Structure 1
Amino acid sequence: MLSCKERGQLELFITGSLRQLIPDDYVLARVDRVLDLSWLRVEVADCYCSGNGRPGIDPEAALRLMLAGMLLGIVHDRRLMREAQVNLAIRWFAGYGLHEKLPDHSSLTRIRQRWGANRFRRIFQRTGEACVDAGIATGEVVHADASLIRADVSWEAVAAQHADAVSIENPGQDKVDGKGHSRRKGDRNKRVCLTDPEATLATTARNRKALPSYKQHGVVDDLRGVILDVEVTTGEINEGHYLLPGLDAVAETIGASIKIVTADAGYSYAKVFAGLEEREIEGIVPVKATPIKSKVPLPRFRYDAQHDHVKCPRGKILKPNRAKIDHGRFFVSKARECKECNLRSDCISPARKTRPVVIVHDYPALLRARRQRLRWGAREELFYQRHCWRAEGFHGEAKTWHGLSRAVRRGLSNMRIQSFLTAAAINLKRLATTVFAQILRWLALFSALIPSIGHNVKNTGEKSRCDPNCLIALVPS
């Protein structure tokens, strides 16, 4: 029979809570069961005047609005407040009734500016600590990875920085040619972003176009994919600069030492391997292949750490030079010995008389890592496979479902806040999923042990009639 729905119905008001209209398995309902913000008011109290001014927005309500936007993938404040006007779940999650007026979108902006990025980092750390207390993160095995985030700028805002401007800002530091232009590599025609100078041009591969970007560095736990640490830098910062500080932050969060860390070849640096050895952490990191630009490549030169010299393929000794570089030292051969060598045409360019070799700091640690890579077995391969879908999966989830594919606001501080809120939302999802699964198992257990409960649940046909909140205290951590 063809039916017709009457749309001009009068509103019917029912006494009760908005929670009754929200399904138990909705993401905001599940997160609300594990979200504890009782400490927040004390944390941000110094940002407000205690005895003067108009009453501000409740800090917990403001943070809940931000988290609701991240959980639902609504990262823009204007769109979030428009959605909250009609979305009962967002209103209930933030603590606003149907008759209450929601705050203006600009209020969330001012709150973020007032609190600062460090407080949002503390909010994120609280979620990681909650996951550790619940037993879904141990920190024994972690995976580190970095990902570029497109800055909120257009190509019209990217301009070429003239070399003369660099020379004026850095007098006496550049080599200048006859026309007065800088000859330092990377300065000439260097591109900068005018609207967001902290976003630098970066790319994931040499055959891809460089875009104004930030870089997010994350450390993910192996057990359930909980994010234990996250930080944001400009796009040009190398991954290797952040790994060791990130591991130290994770050890402080979990209150224990890390045993194993995995990372991709972008972290393959001597200082990284030396830092892992110093912290007694096993590093499962593939070592970069040495680029062969000569018929006599660098691996054929043997470094002797005991005597601090380098031996060439013909057995000649290369002594350290006085020239200093940031990441290592120069070892140079003798011109007389190179002149008589039968490998001179293959080893040295015609314009040079000696062969220089750069030995980076902590080079022995890099050699040990290369030997360890050759001994990889099924265990190491398994850990590295888990790295691919744990660490890289975190970045993919954040970009696909939580709006982190592009920066919402400009500036490094705003980008850090967005990253911290996204990581906190993902951790709350992990925690809520675990708790909700435990609740369902306990419901099934009680239904089997107590026939009356099973009969009631079966008759209702809805899990919402048996409120899971009353069983949280019974769920073991």
Structure 2
Amino acid sequence: MMGQLGGGQDKLFYSFNLDNHVPRQHLLRGIDHFLDLGDLRRHLAPFYSPMGRPSIDPELMIRMLIVGYCFGIRSERRLCEEVHLNLAYRWFCRLGLEDAVPEHSTFSKNRHGRFRDSDVLRHVFESVLGRCMSEGLVKGEGFAIDASIIRADASSVRGVPGSESIDWGCVKGQSRAVREYLEALEEANPAGTEAAEMTETSTPPKRISLTDPAASWTAAKGGLPFFAYSTNYLIDLQAGIIVDVEATPANRSHEVESIRTMIERVEQRRDLKPRRLVGDTAYGSAAMLAWMIEEKEIAPHVPVWDKTTRKDNTLSSSEFLWDELANEYRCPTGHALRSDRRKFRNPRSRVTKADTIIYRASQLDCESCSMKDRCCPNTPFRKIARSIHEAARDEARRIAKTPEYKRSCRERKKVEMLFAHLKRILKLDRLRLRGPSGAHDEFLMAATAQNLRRMATRLMPGSKQMNHAVA
């Protein structure tokens, strides 16, 4: 007999348990097992008034944001709709079938107020990291560092040349990102100070966005330029757990400097300092290598940023022999290159603005040398600029010849895989929030979601298969 939908008598009473309708292997069950927000209210208590109507539970908002970032739901309006409809999302957010979902505007009100004032998203990230450490996923022996460019929520059309004078007071509908940018400029360079005068004479950016002026004008190789920020990850190499994240403008100098901030913050807050640090050539400058070795006592598993190799078939500086005791170079024919040809009553450092010391050969030696055409064909004598941090560069070159360095190069792919996951699975290839604080919020939440997903898939039986299903 053929059945018919709705053919039976309607029930007067229903027994419904939300927990029974969430699969045991669902990714959110694993995430919920490792997420502990027990001290969230204590952290936020100073930022709430003791009087008035009760607010939306901050734990509910954080749980909803975690759902959005874990499953690539980029719109908070759509996130509210999905939590309203999806039983698993309701279960994770501790909402019953009849409980109301907060309005999407609640998130922006709290984000621009107490959430940023209390830096609660950093607090949530740190608590999840602490759970990763207690579960044994962070070894602390080796860290990897890298940066990835994320498009800003700023149209290239709404940009002006950096050399053009801008009256920000007349910018139509001055946004919160513009106000944040102007406040940062005023704080860094108060009017009338020497720093402000230096800023006015420094090289302006090529292009500035009128909607998000802190975003950098950049371009990927072979693509059109755009406004962007960089997310910088510091990860532990054992399980690929993100131990710190920092938002910076999308330029190399800011990306490289972020490593100091993150290494020192992790050491201060978590008492973690790696034995080795893995990175690409961008982190191989002489000053950075010296900082790792001499100040932090970290072995740099980083390629040396070396521009001394010549491409015109003439002798490179590596073909000259360095004599530490004599403080001089020796060319292949045995002639000396010195920083001083005579002694001074008051010794001179000879250090240039580029933190180098210039070693020069004698012009008489070079004129009569049989190898002049291969050494310095276009100059009367040969010069070599030696970095004051050359000893650190030599140590990095020595490490690069070890088997451990080759293993580090393979392990560095873990941080690149996290960036691919960030953009393809979590859908964070373009920011939704503006300004440095918006980038800070989004990158912290995304890193928190990635750590939670990593714990759930590695430590909860069966969660890995469900993770692939929801991705």
Q: Residue 268 of structure 1 contacts residue 285 of structure 1 at CA under 8 Å; is this kept in 2?
A: yes
1:285-342 C-alpha deviation (Å, 9 max, x unpaired): 23345352553444346666656566666423234786742x5135264895588465
Output the CA distance in 2 between the equivalents of 1:172 and 1:255.
Answer: 40
CA positional deviation for 1:48? 1.2
2:397 aligned partner = 370
2:274 counterpart letter in structure 1? I
1:196-232 C-alpha deviation (Å, 9 max, x unpaired): 1111123454x55443211111122222221111111
1:418-441 C-alpha deviation (Å, 9 max, x unpaired): 11111111111222234422999x
Alignment of 1:168-317 (within 5 A): 187=204, 190-205=206-221, 207-238=222-253, 239-278=255-294, 279-288=296-305, 290=307, 291-292=309-310, 295-300=314-319, 314-317=335-338
TM-score (norm 1): 0.77
Output the CA distance in 2 between the equivalents of 1:12 and 1:289.
Answer: 79
Output the CA distance in 2 between the equivalents of 1:224 and 1:171.
Answer: 45
CA positional deviation for 1:79? 1.5
Residue 430 of structure 1 pairs with residue 430 of structure 2: no
Q: Residue 71 of structure 1 contacts residue 426 of structure 1 at CA under 8 Å; is this kept in 2?
A: yes
2:394 counterpart letter in structure 1? L
2:135 aligned partner = 134
Structure 1 gaps, min length 5:
176-181, 441-477
Q: Residue 220 of structure 1 contacts residue 391 of structure 1 at CA under 8 Å; is this kept in 2?
A: yes
2:178 aligned partner = none
Output the CA distance in 1 between the equivalents of 2:368 and 2:337.
Answer: 10
1:36-68 C-alpha deviation (Å, 9 max, x unpaired): 1010001111221122x3321111111001111
Q: Residue 262 of structure 1 contacts residue 284 of structure 1 at CA under 8 Å; is this kept in 2?
A: yes
Structure 1 16/292 Cα, relative in aligned 2: closer, same or farther at 3 Å? same
Alignment of 1:437-456 (within 5 A): 437=461
Structure 1 142/410 Cα, relative in aligned 2: closer, same or farther at 3 Å? same
Q: Residue 361 of structure 2 contacts residue 383 of structure 2 at CA under 8 Å; is this kept in 1?
A: no
Counterpart secondary structure, 2:133: helix
1:286 counterpart letter in structure 2? P
How high is the sequence identity, in percent, across the aligned residues? 26
Q: Residue 148 of structure 1 contacts residue 216 of structure 1 at CA under 8 Å; is this kept in 2?
A: yes
Counterpart secondary structure, 1:116: helix
TM-score (norm 2): 0.78
Output the CA distance in 1 between the equivalents of 2:14 and 2:257.
Answer: 58
Output the CA distance in 2 between the equivalents of 1:274 and 1:346.
Answer: 32
Output the CA distance in 1 between the equivalents of 2:236 and 2:43.
Answer: 27
2:423 counterpart letter in structure 1? K
Structure 1 356/436 Cα, relative in aligned 2: closer, same or farther at 3 Å? same
2:42 aligned partner = 42
Alignment of 1:325-404 (within 5 A): 325=353, 327-331=354-358, 333=360, 340=367, 357-373=384-400, 375-377=401-403, 379-388=404-413, 390-404=414-428
1:152 aligned partner = 153
Counterpart secondary structure, 2:461: helix
1:316 counterpart letter in structure 2? L
1:145-168 C-alpha deviation (Å, 9 max, x unpaired): 211111111120232222788xxx
Q: Residue 339 of structure 2 contacts residue 350 of structure 2 at CA under 8 Å; is this kept in 1?
A: no
Q: Residue 243 of structure 1 contacts residue 272 of structure 1 at CA under 8 Å; is this kept in 2?
A: no
Q: Residue 367 of structure 2 contacts residue 380 of structure 2 at CA under 8 Å; is this kept in 1?
A: no
Output the CA distance in 1 between the equivalents of 2:318 and 2:277.
Answer: 27
1:271 counterpart letter in structure 2? A
Output the CA distance in 2 between the equivalents of 1:300 and 1:196.
Answer: 49
Output the CA distance in 1 between the equivalents of 2:12 and 2:377.
Answer: 88
Structure 1 339/283 Cα, relative in aligned 2: closer, same or farther at 3 Å? closer
Output the CA distance in 1 between the equivalents of 2:383 and 2:126.
Answer: 47
Q: Residue 144 of structure 1 contacts residue 263 of structure 1 at CA under 8 Å; is this kept in 2?
A: yes
CA positional deviation for 1:132? 0.6
Quick check: 281-290 or 19-28, which moved more? Answer: 281-290
Quick check: 89-98 or 121-130, which moved more? Answer: 89-98
Residue 68 of structure 1 pairs with residue 90 of structure 2: no
CA positional deviation for 1:9? 10
2:15 counterpart letter in structure 1? T
C-alpha RMSD of matched pairs (Å): 3.7
Structure 1 174/402 Cα, relative in aligned 2: closer, same or farther at 3 Å? closer
Structure 1 306/95 Cα, relative in aligned 2: closer, same or farther at 3 Å? farther
1:4-54 C-alpha deviation (Å, 9 max, x unpaired): 756999798633432221112222222112211010001111221122x33
Q: Residue 335 of structure 1 contacts residue 353 of structure 1 at CA under 8 Å; is this kept in 2?
A: no
2:23 aligned partner = 23
Structure 1 48/338 Cα, relative in aligned 2: closer, same or farther at 3 Å? farther
Quick check: 62-71 or 3-12, which moved more? Answer: 3-12
1:56 aligned partner = 55
Q: Residue 256 of structure 2 contacts residue 282 of structure 2 at CA under 8 Å; is this kept in 1?
A: yes
Counterpart secondary structure, 2:31: helix
Counterpart secondary structure, 1:212: strand
1:449 aligned partner = none
Q: Residue 214 of structure 1 contacts residue 234 of structure 1 at CA under 8 Å; is this kept in 2?
A: yes
Output the CA distance in 1 between the equivalents of 2:144 and 2:212.
Answer: 31
Q: Residue 129 of structure 1 contacts residue 253 of structure 1 at CA under 8 Å; is this kept in 2?
A: no
Structure 2 gaps, min length 5:
167-191, 341-347, 465-471
1:445 aligned partner = none
Output the CA distance in 2 between the equivalents of 1:8 and 1:75.
Answer: 42
Output the CA distance in 1 between the equivalents of 2:164 and 2:289.
Answer: 37
1:167-207 C-alpha deviation (Å, 9 max, x unpaired): xx9997699xxxxxx9x8x65x82222211111123454x5
